[in-house]
Chains A and B, each alone.
Chain A
Amino acid sequence: MKVRVPRIRGERAEWVLGALLGVILALVVFVFGNAWPSFSHNGLAWFSSGGNVQTQLGNIYHSPNNPAHYVYTLHAWPLLYGTILSTGLAVICGLVLALLAAVFLVEFAPPLLKRLLRPAVRLLAGVPSVIYGLVGLLALAPLINSNLVSPSFKLAVAPVVQITGTGLLLAVVILTLMVTPIMLALIADALESVPRSWLEGSAALGVNRWRTMWRISVHTIRPAIAAAMVLATARALGEAIMLDMVSGAYPFAPNPLDGFNFFLEPIQTFASAIVQNADGLFSVTPFPQTIYAFAAVLLVSAGLLSFAGWLVKQPLRRYGIR
């Protein structure tokens, strides 16, 4: 039975929490309020392709300081494409890796490796992204540059973009390394909470270990896998500094028809575009508004992801797994 508390205490708490909610509301209102002109001037063309984003941003930056002549024209497709490409590929690669590694960790690993793998996962999850960026930029980019980039390709695209080893491939590799441990930790926890008797029942029916794992455990924890993907997507979407270092940081839309060279072409994501242009936040009005439009896109995606996370949590609650 609950003891009645003087009403005033609860109300005071509500004020503090109201302030917290106010901060979030301010964040949303501020970002969207500032971003609106950029969207309204371009309409849906904002999301389409056309022209060079770098030049367009330059024009916006140098737009005349007269509200009647503000320049807003921007076709941000390369940024959107880069964001989707890097996030999507990294989450898919990371999911395969994390699922297999989690099954290994829970079911097949010898006790010694198990003891080794757990801290390794936690370590990988805790390493600051700037260190991943540094490793990618200083250790892997030269490797890619000298082994995978053909000089003729480099020469052919030199007038358009510089190929230096940083690009889609490196971004996806490093991003995969970054999101795998997050998913691995969640999936391994869920795998461990699958009732032992279900697995024993399956084994008693003569199903082998691998098949048991696949048909019983992995199928049971599908909601946890979805939750892990949501979390990983959020992380990959918001990663700014690291992608700024390893993605080539040039708003270019890689062409899938280029074959393998597709993976070597530079990309830029919304988050890293914000980092690159953060210095211009106090220049003529249209430029910060464009930056805020990038932030608004990220904010909407973050909101949608939160919602998706809440959705996939519902069946989790019902089954009592996490």
Chain B
Amino acid sequence: MCWAAGLFVTLAAAAIVVFMAVKGLQYLQLGLLFQHPTAAVDQSKAGGFLDPIEGTIALTLLGTLIAAPIAIGTAVWLSEYGRPTGLARLVEAGVDVIAGVPSIVLAIFGLIVFSKALFSFLSISAQGVSSFGRSFLIAGITISLVALPLIVGSVREALQAIPSHVREASYALGKSQATTIRHVLLPSVRPGIATGIALGMGRIVGDTAIAIVLLGNTLENQPGTGIWPLDYLRGTGSTLTTYVYNNSPVGEGNAPQKAYAAAFVLLLVVLLLNYSVDRLARGSRQVTAWSR
């Protein structure tokens, strides 16, 4: 029975990958990767998915850039300071709650909050009165909450794995706690940070709900106003996940071939991230020289 279950899981994984690979390679042409999508009844004229690829990259970078510093700071504070114990408990519980909140709830929360005129600088707005509430910046800020708990967890685990005599050695040399963190602890948890970031990126790349609700779900990336990087980030767009959703039979596009091709590219990206997590996690085991 155990054999059956184990084999079933292996076979299911293999079946999904093989199925996606066959379908993806069948419908994927190199041109699709470099063409802008356009709305057309005839699928051969509807273009490729250059914009969704760009969108995925932009959103992932943005989300990670926002989440990483906050998450690393939180993790360091939790494991090294954690002074008012009550606050530490609260923060811990808070991170746990964020991890448990469905991303669709985060999405509609973000939509309502960022539609307030106060945040109109983040998206396209009508004369600064009301805000559209959908842009790369807004989606990036909200989606960073998805990656946050993963990075916090992995950095914390790495910090706790460092034996206390390492810290004591640094204090004995007359270093302050801040210097110890900066020059001893953080360099040695680098693999943990990298693992957390890669995990978080995987979650952001695969997240659909926030991208659909907060990215405007436009076919092409439509820049807003402003100077170069800012106009792009204030504009709306799509990611590979929303592209797959929209081109599946339940979406508006209904072009299964395109959906298969895009899903295959998405799967490749996720596989790559998975592989890098694997490599980083394996690397971290060799680094801890003092644990011997």
Contacts and interface: CB of A to CB of B under 8 A. Distances in A.
Most buried by A among B13, B83, B96, B145: B13
Interface string B75-108: 0010001011001001101101111111111111
B244 A130 contact: yes
Interface residues of B, number: 78
Interface string B101-132: 11111111101110100000000000000000
B109 A237 contact: no
A148 interface: no
A100 B6 contact: yes
Interface string A115-148: 0110111111011111111110111000000000
Nearest to A100: B5
Given A30-B109, A278-B213, A303-B97, A101 B102 contact: no
B209 A299 contact: no
Contacts of B250: 137, 244-245, 249
Contacts of B277: 122
Interface stretch (B28-36, B170-178, B220-228): B170-178
B206 A126 contact: yes
A10 B83 contact: yes
A131 B20 contact: yes
B112 A133 contact: no
Contacts of A180: 9
Interface string A135-164: 101110000000000000000000000000
B280 to A, nearest CB: 13
B40 interface: no
A5 B20 contact: no
Contact of A121 (B9, B20, B104): B9
B12 interface: yes
A123 B5 contact: no
Given A122-B274, A245-B250, A299-B105, A105 B6 contact: yes
Contact of A127 (B101, B112, B270): B270
Contacts of A181: 9
A298 B207 CA distance: 18
B266 interface: yes
B16 interface: yes
A275 B87 CA distance: 35
B248 A137 contact: yes
B113 A26 contact: yes
B10 A116 contact: yes
Interface in A286-314: 288, 291-292, 295, 298-299, 302-303, 305-306, 309-310
Nearest to A277: B108
A164 to B, nearest CB: 10
A309 B212 contact: no
A45 interface: no
Most buried by A among B16, B93, B209, B266: B209
B241 A130 contact: yes
A306 B209 contact: no
Contacts of B145: 23
A120 B168 contact: no
B41 interface: no
B277 to A, nearest CB: 8
B289 interface: no
25 contacts: A3-B171, A9-B178, A17-B74, A21-B94, A27-B101, A30-B113, A100-B5, A100-B6, A113-B6, A117-B6, A120-B13, A120-B14, A124-B13, A126-B202, A128-B205, A130-B244, A135-B19, A138-B248, A181-B9, A234-B100, A241-B212, A274-B105, A275-B209, A295-B109, A298-B104
Interface of A: 1-3, 5, 9-10, 13-14, 16-17, 20-21, 23-24, 26-27, 30-31, 34, 96-97, 100-101, 103-105, 107-109, 113, 116-117, 119-124, 126-135, 137-139, 177, 180-181, 184, 234, 237-241, 244-245, 249, 271, 274-275, 278, 281-282, 288, 291-292, 295, 298-299, 302-303, 305-306, 309-310
- Sorted nearest first, the 6 A-B pairs with minimum C-beta distance are A238-B102, A128-B206, A100-B5, A104-B6, A104-B2, A120-B13
